[in-house]
């Protein structure tokens, strides 16, 4: 959004001078103190004015309402009060400024073909417009870096990822945007000593040089977009790798749960089966030992002593044989211990899966926002580069369309939130249907949480 104000302003002034030169003025019937007549519709036909007003009015209304819904959704739904959504809230703030102020003033400028609100209001509008637009780009960069570090450094970064730090980052984004644009736009005429902008035009004075315009376009659009695309590609690759690792982990855990339990059960059942097939006198080891040691040694002879030793040895052998087989308590305790350990691992994998699902949702929202930003801002910035080498190659109508397309990005952003985030979508629906009663909202939220599946 760099060069159109200058080109359109100069063309409107040139058109107005041609009209005045081709107009015959009778000095007897005209008061020289009266200002010259200006057609409020400029060079537009009535049907063009009606079409422009209706189209831009609808876009402005949708932009303001959509981004105000973001504010309200953030207020009424506590589930949306996450660190990532703080950045989206800041982006919505910039979009509201563009929808409420920039769109309407620019529409007036297009229809009239000249700037009729004075130099001060022109500079204020340009400063506000460029600060809000640059803040949008800065917020997109912050969201991209936040997603990237959340995926690649989940342990170290998330511990530092607090609402306070998010507020500091958002504040820095707005402060940097203000410092970059506002002082230069408002004070450049005083720095160079004169104002070179025509009285009926409105554009940034220091962007009149093509080389400065080219450098600004690179720094304000092409460089941030390149960084965001690289970060998103890294996010996509990392998310896919984690999905494959999680799928392999869940598969191995399932096998580990099934195999040990099955082997233990088969062993215990076979062992107990063998023990049950033994005679009762051979399996009752404690009973044999009580029989042997229950009789006093003094009342028996040597034969009795040998008999006791043989019986004791036989009983010990049976005891060792039976002890090799798991008892019922061992057969039950061992599988339950294994199952408990495996369930804990499964729950850990489930938490990882839920975390990955949340990261995919955030990445999906980021991809939609980036795609909308690139599609709406690229045509205008291509024209900026072309105009640097060929100043008169871009028609005024194409400049106007490209500049307005940049504004449309603020209209599309809330739609991206609703399409990619189910919580935003449900909250928007409830707000639009005026169902903001706390009890109804709490009931609806609990029902949604009860029926929610991991894919949601």
Q: Specify the pLDDT at position 252.
A: 54
Q: Which residue has the higher pLDDT, 168 or 364?
A: 168
Q: Are 126 and 109 in contact (CB under 8 A)?
A: no
Report the chain's mean pLDDT, rounded to a whole number. Answer: 75
User: Is residue 270 in some structural domain?
Assistant: no
Counting the structural domains of the chain, the total is: 1
User: Is residue 425 in some structural domain?
Assistant: yes
Q: Specify the pLDDT at position 41.
A: 61
- Residue at token pair 């960084």: 227
Q: Are 356 and 246 in contact (CB under 8 A)?
A: yes
User: Is residue 377 in some structural domain?
Assistant: yes
- Rounded distance, CA 34 to CA 347, Å? 83
User: Is residue 322 in some structural domain?
Assistant: no
**Comparing 4-8, 58-62, 195-199, 226-230, which segment has the lowest mean pLDDT?**
4-8
Radius of gyration of the chain (CA): 39
CA atoms within 13 A on the CB side of 6: 18
- Rounded distance, CA 46 to CA 450, Å? 56
Q: Specify the pLDDT at position 391.
A: 79
Model confidence over 378-409: pLDDT tens digits? 999 999 999 888 878 899 889 999 999 999 99
User: Is residue 130 in some structural domain?
Assistant: yes
User: Is residue 323 in some structural domain?
Assistant: no
Domain hosting residue 246, numbered range: 4-255+344-450
User: Is residue 264 in some structural domain?
Assistant: no
Q: Specify the pLDDT at position 91.
A: 96
User: Is residue 276 in some structural domain?
Assistant: no
Most distant CA atoms of the chain, gap in Å? 161
Residue 424, domain CATH: 1.20.1070.10
Residues 6 or more apart whose Cβ sits within 8 Å of residue 346: 250, 253, 257
- Rounded distance, CA 160 to CA 153, Å? 11
**pLDDT over 80 (residue 66):** yes
- Rounded distance, CA 320 to CA 310, Å? 15
Q: Are 11 and 396 in contact (CB under 8 A)?
A: yes
CA atoms within 13 A on the CB side of 34: 8
């Amino acid at each position: 959004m760099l060069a159109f104000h200058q080109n359109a302003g100069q063309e409107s002034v040139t058109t107005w001078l041609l009209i005045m030169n081709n107009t015959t003025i009778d000095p007897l019937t005209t008061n020289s103190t009266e200002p010259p007549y200006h057609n409020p519709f400029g060079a537009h036909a009535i049907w063009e004015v009606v079409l422009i007003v209706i189209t831009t009015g609808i876009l402005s209304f949708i932009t303001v309402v959509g981004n105000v819904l973001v504010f309200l959704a953030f207020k009424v739904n506590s589930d949306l009060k996450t660190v990532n959504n703080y950045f989206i809230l800041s982006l919505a703030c910039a979009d509201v400024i563009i929808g409420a102020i920039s769109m309407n003033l620019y529409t007036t400028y297009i229809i009239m073909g000249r700037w009729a609100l004075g130099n001060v209001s022109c500079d204020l509008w340009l400063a506000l417009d460029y600060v809000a637009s640059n803040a949008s780009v800065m917020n997109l960069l912050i969201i991209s870096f936040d997603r990237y570090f959340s995926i690649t450094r989940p342990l170290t970064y998330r511990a530092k990822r607090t609402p306070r730090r998010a507020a500091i980052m958002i504040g820095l984004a707005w402060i940097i945007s203000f410092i970059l644009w506002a002082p230069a736009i408002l004070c450049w005429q005083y720095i160079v000593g004169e104002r070179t902008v025509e009285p009926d035009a409105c554009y940034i004075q220091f962007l009149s040089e093509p080389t400065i315009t080219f450098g600004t376009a690179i720094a304000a659009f092409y460089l941030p977009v390149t960084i965001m695309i690289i970060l998103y590609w890294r996010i996509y690759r990392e998310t896919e790798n984690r999905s494959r690792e999680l799928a392999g982990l869940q598969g191995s855990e399932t096998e580990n749960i099934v195999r040990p339990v099955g082997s233990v059960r088969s062993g215990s059942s076979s062992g107990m089966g063998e023990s049950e097939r033994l005679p009762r006198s051979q399996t009752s080891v404690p009973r044999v030992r009580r029989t042997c040691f229950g009789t006093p040694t003094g009342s028996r002879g040597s034969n009795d002593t040998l008999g006791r030793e043989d019986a004791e040895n036989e009983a010990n052998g049976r005891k060792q044989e039976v002890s090799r087989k798991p008892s019922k308590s061992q057969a039950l305790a061992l599988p339950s211990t294994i199952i408990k350990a495996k369930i804990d691992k499964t729950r850990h994998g489930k938490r990882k899966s839920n975390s990955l699902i949340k990261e995919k949702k955030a990445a999906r929202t980021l991809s939609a926002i980036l795609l909308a930003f690139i599609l709406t801002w690229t045509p205008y910035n291509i024209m900026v580069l072309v105009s640097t080498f060929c100043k008169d190659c871009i028609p005024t109508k194409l400049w106007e369309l490209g500049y307005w397309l940049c504004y449309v990005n603020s209209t599309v952003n809330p739609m991206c939130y609703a399409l990619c985030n189910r919580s935003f979508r449900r909250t928007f629906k409830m707000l639009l249907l005026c169902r903001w009663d706390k009890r109804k909202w709490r009931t609806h939220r609990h029902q949604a949480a009860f029926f929610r599946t991991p894919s949601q």
